[in-house]
Structure 1
Amino acid sequence: MTAEFEVLREVARPRPNLERFRQSLGDGVDYAALVTLAASHGVRPALLDCLGKVSWGSMPAAERAELERFRQYHLARTLTLAGDLAQLAADLAGRSIRFVAFKGPTLSLALYGDLAGREYNDLDLIVPPEQVDVAEDAILSMDYRSPQGDRTFRRMFLSPQRQYAFVRDEAHTAIDLHWAFSGSHVPFPLAAADAWESAIPLTVGNRTVPVLSTPNLALLLAGHGTKEGWTMLKWVSDFARLVDRHPDLDWEELYRRARERRCGEAVLLACSVAQTLLEVPIPEALGDFVAGSDRVRRRTAAVAASLRDPAYAPRGIDHFTDLLLCDRWIDRTAARLKLTFTPTAGDHAALQLPPALWGAYYVTRPCRLAFRAVLGRA
């Protein structure tokens, strides 16, 4: 474990020990590497908060200036995103579109206490599948654009992901529009229908926005972190904060709900990773389940070893990381098969057929993947 990662572990905890943090800063920390690693893990706001409480310690002027520039930029962007969320919420309500906001500014407010307490770059909304097109129109009316082609292209190549991305270049902001919480090939601990049934209001600026209830947020964070392979401390910190701030949650019931959706181990893995990396106790109701799962223990050890490796840097997620969501081998096998036969934008980029022939991608994709596999072994 590097000294820089140890510092970040401390700031990412729900209740950082400032004396231990101050001591860690003096243990041969490479401050330039610390700032770079904090950016990679998405925990610069937490680092800034702790540094402010210890009067910046021995932070060199160059690295302090870099963090201060980030603070100003981050604050401006979070205000922009909060304004966009308020505007979009009003537009969606005016069009009678049901939606729930999650992650982004709403998660920062719910778990960190202010808009800039957490690092994020976009807004995430989930709407019913039948209202996706109208929600797209609302987003596009705010000068956002899709970098993923036109509507026909997205439906063909991106709809299995069950989310579309929209960006506004001049503001460097983005909106992810979802109609489910995971791709169509894997299960997820939280069903979209559950989001509607128990949504709660949250005030963002001068607008009340529907967000996930705390139990549903717990399932969302466990599922999202697992889907992404727990490759950033930010995601571990999110889940750890929720566990710490809501000791009254019925974790046995949450685990039961996740198991019904065939991904109960995602909840156990989230608790185990939060304990191993950030010393947050596993909820008592789940202790025996975590201890009794060899797969959860192996995955926790793999995550911790990867993050602690001095050569590690957070990386892009491969196509099969989200298979960790699947409790059963049969679901993992089915997901791999579905991914093999489902066309993607990459297939179109490799062989640009006209729309009339797009159906051919269902045949060419397995052949292309097989050819790549043969080349990889050559």
Structure 2
Amino acid sequence: MELVERPAARATGSALRPLAQLLLDATFDRPGVFSDELGRVTGEELWEAGLLHRVTPAVARAVRGWSEVPEAWRAPLEVGRNRQMLRHLRALEDLKVLGAALDRAGIAWVVVKGATLASVVWPHADMREYYDLDLLVQPAAFRDAVEIVEAEGGRLLDRNWPALRASRRGELAMVGRHGTHVDLHWHLAVAPSVRRAFALDVDAMLARRRHRELSATSVPMLDPEDQALHVAVHAAQAGANRLMWLADAYYAAQQVDWDVLCDRSRAARAEVPVALVLDRAYRVAGEPGVPHPGFERAAAGSWGRLARARDARHPFPGLPGDPRLGGAVYSAARASVVASAGHLVALHARARRDGWRHRTGRDVAWPLQQDVPDAGARDAYFAAAASGERR
């Protein structure tokens, strides 16, 4: 993917601050320009901005050959890059162990998100930051998959079975033999509300999986269209407010058949959020918009116009300390304006409630990683997973 010749990105037509432009250039693999103003950015400011957008390794790679780089930048950037490469190598080792065990058991699975995006979607494996190894297994075999991870030296972190039964989360947090945090999924939509909103067919995705080379090992991954659909829906639910998530969608889109992606997005009732994320990603990358008429129509609809108007008021990417860094307009995007507006109201109400609980010390959240044995709740949770329930 050669992006060097693309124009410098402008989300709104107004000039970005030098640090924001550096993050953007590094994320989209473009040569940046050093300036005196950029030179006044401290190492701490650079580090915090990289963490916010999860692109510190990309920045480290982009400025490695600059003679003008302030000395205060070098240590934090190298630390960020080296830590990511160590996480990546450790994740690959746990992937080899767990993948081989799942294959021996005859369980259909794919690796999603971090490891695959860094290795086969982004231009270079040392650009994308990630912390977890995400594996999706067929829902009917989820309980067996958990036992396999444990048999291979892993352990469960989520052990509050009454809370898990109540939450009906589509994943369990685990740790692999080599210390990698493993998110073992029986569904790509973790929250039941997202499963209700978007009809992501996990079994069909697993049936379409393809094997790709990952560090000299052939591993199963989602096909290009399912991968792009997944990362765009994930980005939307997260607020589409980090450069890493937008770059995931942008780079994944370079490998798709657009008509197939549009058809699958429409079938999943996810055409609007996918269109909005791709539209923002392409605009941030300096391109006029999504190169497909179906997605362009969806992005130009009422909710898309709201998202674009919001971007015009608050140029992207924002930096630490900026107001309005959230992305509720993107998180709320649903198939219709009415559904989107209703979800936006619910998001704001939840934010106010959570803020009130935090301020008053009345946060009653029950940590999922508290050890609360309950055989009945455990069985109920795994039964829900096996059914692939979307409630």
Match in the other structure for 1:369: none
The 10-residue stretch of structure 1 (140-149 or 265-274) with the greater mean CA deviation from structure 2: 140-149
Residue 293 in structure 1 maps to residue 301 in structure 2? yes
CA distance in 2, matches of 1:242, 1:196: 18
CA distance in 1, matches of 2:372, 2:250: 47
1:134 CA displacement: 1.0
Q: SS of the counterpart of 2:192?
A: coil
Residue 9 in structure 1 maps to residue 24 in structure 2? yes
CA distance in 1, matches of 2:61, 2:342: 44
CA distance in 2, matches of 1:321, 1:251: 21
Residue 135 in structure 1 maps to residue 150 in structure 2? no
Superposed CA deviations along residues 228-276 of structure 1, whole A, max 9, x for unmatched, are: 1112110111112233x33xx3324422321222221012102211122
2:101 aligned residue (83, 91, 94): 91
2:174 aligned residue (166, 174, 179): 166
Superposed CA deviations along residues 185-223 of structure 1, whole A, max 9, x for unmatched, are: 223364212311211101223532110111111111111
Q: Structure 2: any 5+ residue segments left out of the alignment?
A: 1-15, 351-362, 378-391
CA distance in 1, matches of 2:299, 2:206: 34
Residue 22 in structure 1 maps to residue 33 in structure 2? yes
Paired amino acid for 1:261? A
Determine if contact 2:94/2:178 at 8 Å carries over to the other structure.
Answer: no
Match in the other structure for 1:363: none
1:276 aligned residue (265, 272, 283): 283
1:72 CA displacement: 2.1
Q: How many residues end up aligned between the 2 structures?
A: 339
CA distance in 2, matches of 1:286, 1:24: 41
Q: SS of the counterpart of 1:125?
A: strand
Q: SS of the counterpart of 1:185?
A: helix
Which protein has the bigger helix share?
1
CA distance in 1, matches of 2:62, 2:252: 19
Determine if contact 2:23/2:55 at 8 Å carries over to the other structure.
Answer: yes
Determine if contact 2:236/2:277 at 8 Å carries over to the other structure.
Answer: yes
2:193 aligned residue (178, 185, 193): 185
1:116 aligned residue (102, 106, 126): 126
Q: SS of the counterpart of 1:45?
A: helix
Match in the other structure for 1:329: 338
1:99 CA displacement: 0.6
2:46 aligned residue (34, 39, 51): 34
1:148 CA displacement: 2.1
Q: Structure 1: any 5+ residue segments left out of the alignment?
A: 359-378
CA distance in 2, matches of 1:295, 1:81: 38
Change (3 A) 1:203 1:57: same
Match in the other structure for 2:62: 50
1:309 CA displacement: 4.4
TM-score (norm 2): 0.75
CA distance in 2, matches of 1:29, 1:230: 29
Paired amino acid for 2:171? Q
CA distance in 2, matches of 1:353, 1:82: 31
1:322 CA displacement: 4.4
TM-score (norm 1): 0.77
Residue 201 in structure 1 maps to residue 211 in structure 2? yes
CA distance in 1, matches of 2:375, 2:156: 22
1:328 CA displacement: 5.6
